[in-house]
Each structure stands twice: as structure tokens, then as C-alpha cells.
Amino acid sequence: MFSASDDSAMMKQIQSTHSPDGRFLDVKPILQVIDNVLRHLTPTIDHHALNGGQGHMDAIDDSSATMDSNGMLEALAFLVHKISCEISCKCSGGGDAHATTMVLLNTLSSYSWDAKVVLTLAAFAVNFGECWLVLQLCTTNSLAKSVALLKQLPDILEYSHTLKPHFDALHKLIKAMMEVTKCIVEFTELPSQYISSDVPPMSIAVAHIPTAAYWTIRSVVACAAQITSLVGMRYEFVTSTSEAWELSSLAHKVCSIHEHLQKILHLCHQHIDEKKQTEAYEGLKHSFGTPQLDNSKILLKIFSLSKEDPHSLLGPDKTKVHIEVLRRKHVLLLISDLDITHEEIQVLESLYKYDRVASEVNYEIVWLPIVDRSAWNDSYQQKFLSLQSVMPWYTVNHPSIIEPAVVKYTREVWNFVKKPIVVTLDPLGKMTCPNALNMLWIWGNTAFPFTTDREASLWKAEAWTVELLVDGLEPNLSNWVRQEKVICLYGGEEMEWIESFTSATKNVAQFLGIGLEMVYVGKNNAKERVKKITGLINERQLSHAWQDANVWFFWKRLESMLFSKTQHGKTNEIDVIKQEVMTLLGYDGSEQGWAVFFSGTNMVRAKGDKVLNAIQSFEQWEGMARVSGFISAIRGHLEGIADEHHCTRLILPGISGGIAETVVCAECGRTMEMYFMYRCCDE
């Protein structure tokens, strides 16, 4: 695969030399010493070094060669010396490179492939190191000078400029040899419990390592032959470029081998990571399914902390804290990406910092940001830090501590997709609700401890009233209810319709002598347009109008009601609250305005033109209004109007928790066709 010349006959010849006896040789320390030797040499092959300069690499501290490697090398000294002599002898005699390589492979037959290459490189480092050491010291040390004279090394100085192509080729090949060797060694260090040598991609590596070892050892022979030729060189050699070309060709081949091995190694690491993440994922699932003494073990797994270093969380004051601060507490995991809105943070902040204290409930929030590690950049880093700085609860120090297995668990078990969710854990680490965010938006801290059972019990006590719909968004609501006023909530973005509707409705109320309060609740996902309309409503004193935050929260609570009901398996036909919520969301999805009237337990609602026409036709139902009241009369009038045509749409954001398969049209009661609608709006 590396070359057409590496035919099956040659591979069989190489494999026939391999007869390992099972001995283990830790080659890493030896390779470290070899690396130190060759790093001293190759960067200093220049005119300055050839004339006795020490070179900047001479200052490197060799203390990294450990005592273990010293002891190991002492035991292997004879073998390294034998290989060194073999290389020197064959190269001095001008032997065939392939034959010499096969001799070395036979000499090292009982060792593993990584050991064969490392021991051969060790022998080469001894020969090359001795030669280069004498060459560097010959101008300053009398002993080195005498040895250099006997070896005729001074001739190299005379032709130093001419020899540059030879040394450049030598340097490139040595570098390639070291890279392949390190790669081969890395394969041997892969954890066998996660990757087997008899299945891909490891089996592919096993098949190619012998070839890689052969060409690395053969490159050692070529380098040694080059050095031997330089020591005993003649003028003809100096002017020849064939030797440099041969080294360059080998370097190209060995670099190609390294590139191929690196690709296989990358696949091996991917395979190992997948196995580890699967193991971690199953471990997380097992932990959640096993009763715990407290929540410490679960939290350590979620935040990828260790018992030795459980400090990768930041407290509300942005200082590192021990995971122990969350032990045996109710923990709310706020799971989101970096697109969580400031409105969501502000509402949660109000619940966490103020209402929590007033309600005397004890829980902690921890932000679990789910991000794409591969796409992480400075922009995401700044966005993360900005969000982290405004969150008054616990956060991770950095999203990178959240392991892929945890991300997978949030998506596959807790159904996190895009929109934020809040997973609740009790003091023992048991998951009690896969998304309590709906409860927080609807009931706030009244829903504590935010369990699925608590959510169900809260719904049993609710009815479709203006109090549920508005909650604390309108400060005057309790007074209006006590005064038995008719309360009208309306929305849309057609200013002409708004002016006509508010004017006509107030005229009817005045004519009937009833108390009326009207509140403009805007439109979902139309912040800038709604802000402009709100300004005009206030300026012309048409009705009450909420600020941006209240408008956002009104629609967010409606969506939360729908998803909460859906999670509890309620059907449209028997659940009045769910049907009414879907009707209002459907109104908002249309191009028209809409209105809903409340008076005590009575309620009526309709879309823009229909409700406006009904108000403007007041004389037709005036008598009924004076007998049965405003809401009963207008409801009866609206029920008597048959629409020739209507178009009702329902726009819902993507969110976990599931969408109802059956939706009934608010206008005619027929089952609506189901489509997916995606909407993106920067406003």
C-alpha cells in the first residue's frame, strides 16, 4: 500500500524474520534519549556548527533521561553495540541496503516491531552522535582534534558549503524516521480494553506496521551509509548529488508512511473515544437508575469532575467552589446552548434571587451549557463569558468539562434540542422532572420541588381564568376582578384595527354602563413592531399596554402551558385549558388581531374582523346584553355568525417534550393538518 515495490513476496520475507518471544520492552525512555541525541544534531547541521560552533540546541538539559532508561540501556548495551557494529560494518563495505536491513531484522527477531525500530535507532544515534561530537569539538579540544585527524573529518570542513544538500537531505530523513517510530510506539500504547488488534482500524495498523518498521530501519542504514561516505569522502563524492537524491527519495517515502499511519491512528483514537463515551454514557444511565446515598456521585459524573479535583464549578460570586456545596440539595440543571435569551435569564434571576428567599424554598441552579466543541472559537468564548457573568447561580468553569457522554444523555434521555430546559434532581440525585422550566414559567416557586407529580397536582387545581392567563403580569388585575370589571386582552399588529376595536369596545361599555379594562399583549416574536405599536397605544391612550419583558413572558407562559399539558398526555377534546391556549397561539399565528373577554368565570374570544364586526353590530345584541350581560350576549352573537372562509395557523417553537399529534381548529372544530413550520426572527 505504501509503494508498488512492496509486493507480497517482500512482505512475506519481512514477516518471516518476526518471531517475538513475548518479552516486554518499555521503549519510551530509550526513544526519549534517542530524541535528545538527534535533536542536538539535526538542527545544527549548518556552516556554523561544522566550524566548531556549539549551536543553540547544545544548551538542552538531558536530565529528562530517567534512571529507568539508564538501567534499561545497561541491560541492552550489548545488543545496541552489536547492531551499531553491524550497521558500521555493512555500510563501510558498501553492502546492499535491503540485505543489511534483513540482517538487522533477523538479529532483532525476538523483539516486537516497535522495539526493533527503537533499538536500531539507538545504535544509529550512538554512531552518529560520536561522529558529530568529535566534529563539533575538533577545533577546541586536542583529543577531539586528534580523533578527527585519524577519521579525516577535517575534510568535511573544507567542503561545508558544498555538503549542505547532503546534510539537508539527512536532516529531513532523520526527522521522518523519528516521526514514524513515535507513531509505531503510539500504536502499542493504545488501551486494549477499548480496541482490539483483530478488528479495524487496529487490524489495519497491525498489517502495515511491519512495512513501516522495515522502511524506517532501511532509512537508518541509508543515513549510516551517507555518514560513512562523508567520513571517508573523496572529491568525486562531494560533487555528486546522487546520494542526496537517494536520501530525499527515502524521506518522501517515509513521510508518506507516516501520513498513512497517522490517518489510521486518528481512526483508532476515534474508535477508542467512542468506546469510552459509550462506557461513560452507560455508566451515567446506570447511576441514575441506581439509588444513591446523596447526589454527589451523580453531580461528579454530570460535570466530569473527579473526587481528587471537584472544583470546576463557579459559585454565584464567580469563585471556584467544591461540589460539596450542592450535596443533599435540590439541584436544578439549567441546560441550554449559548443562545439562551436575556429575558429567560432575567425571569429565572427573579425567581432564584428574590422569590426563592421570600417563598422559603431551598434549591440551587447550575448552568450546563451544551456547545459544539469542534466549532469553538474566540467569539463563542466571549459569548460564554458574557452569559456566565450575568447568571447569579452556579455555572461550569468552561463548557469543555462537559463530556460528550453527558451531552448525549441530555439529548437522548432528557430530550434537549435547542430551547433551554431545566432538569430537576432531588437531594439523592434522582431525576424528578425532565423539564421543570414550564412549571417555573407558569407557577414560579409555588411549584417547588418541581416534580412531575407536583406539576400534575397543580394542573388539577387550575381553571381557565384571567388569573391563570395573566398571573403577575398586570399589577391592577386583582382590583379589576374585585370590582367585577370586564377585562379584555387583545393582540395583533394592525394599528388601524387596534384603533377601531378599542374605540368601538369602549363605546359599547360606556353605553351599557359597565366597567371595562383593556390590555394590549402584543404579538409573539415581533419585539420591534410591538414596541412601536405600544408607543402609539400609550400616546393615544387607547388602552393599557405592557412593556417588552411582560409581552415576552406572556407568550412564553402560553407556550409553556401547552407543552406542560402535552407532557401530561392531555387531549384537546377534554382539556379546556389546553384547547384555549392553543386557540390563542393560533390567533397569534394569523395576520389579524384578536381579543378575549373575561368577566368572573365567563369568557369569550374571537379573531380580529369577526370580533370587531360583532362590537360594531352592538344594536343587534344590545337587548340580550342588558338581560344576560355583555359576555353572554356577544358570545351568543358570535356563535350565530357562520364564516364562509377562515384560515387558522399555529406557530410553535421547536422544543423538547413532544407536540400533540391532533390539533382541533378553533373556528370549526375539525382536525387540522399537521405541518412543521420553522421561523427565525432577530427582533
Please tell me the least confidently modeled range out of 78-92, 297-311, 400-414, 613-627.
Answer: 297-311
Which is more confident, 134 or 69? 134
Place of cell 439529548: 411
Contacts of residues 284-287 at CB distance under 8 Å and 24 or more positions apart, as own/partner, are: 284/405, 284/406, 284/409, 285/409, 285/413, 287/429
Average pLDDT over residues 228-249: 65
CA distance 560 to 566: 10
Average pLDDT over residues 498-519: 96
Average pLDDT over residues 63-85: 68
Question: Would you say residue 20 has pLDDT above 80?
Answer: yes
Which is more confident, 319 or 666? 319
What are the DSSP E strand ranges found in 475-631? 486-491, 516-520, 544-545, 594-599, 602-607
Local confidence band at 669 (pLDDT 50, 70, 90 cut-offs): low
Which domains occur in the chain, in start order?
Answer: 24-41+70-276 (no CATH), 295-461 (3.40.30.10), 466-672 (no CATH)
Of all residues in the chain, what percent are helix, strand and coil, respectively (each to 5)?
60, 10, 30
Local confidence band at 357 (pLDDT 50, 70, 90 cut-offs): confident
CA distance 296 to 427: 9
Cell of 469: 392567563
Question: Would you say residue 575 has pLDDT above 60?
Answer: yes
Cell of 477: 388585575
Please, what is the average pLDDT of the chain?
A: 84
pLDDT of residue 134: 74
Please tell me the least confidently modeled range out of 19-33, 376-390, 557-571.
Answer: 557-571
Instruction: For residue 26, give every residue at least 6 positions away whose Cβ sits within 8 Å of its Cβ, in sequence order, or none.
Output: 68, 72
Local confidence band at 644 (pLDDT 50, 70, 90 cut-offs): low
Local confidence band at 173 (pLDDT 50, 70, 90 cut-offs): very high
Of the candidates 423, 434, 443, 431, which has an alpha carbon nearest to the alpha carbon of residue 347?
443
Q: In 290-369, where does DSSP find H-type helix?
A: 296-302, 342-349, 356-359
Q: What are phi and psi of 179, to 5 degrees?
A: -65, -45
Dihedral angle, C-alpha 62, 60, 115, 274, nearest 10 °: 110
CA distance 633 to 612: 15
Instruction: For residue 96, give every residue at least 6 positions away whose Cβ sits within 8 Å of its Cβ, in sequence order, or none.
Output: none
pLDDT of residue 63: 46
pLDDT of residue 656: 47
Question: Would you say residue 671 has pLDDT above 90?
Answer: no
CB 44 within 8 A of CB 57: yes
Question: What is the total residue count of the chain?
Answer: 683
Q: What is the pTM of this model?
A: 0.77
Question: Would you say residue 48 has pLDDT above 50?
Answer: no
Of the candidates 296, 267, 276, which has an alpha carbon nearest to the alpha carbon of residue 187?
267
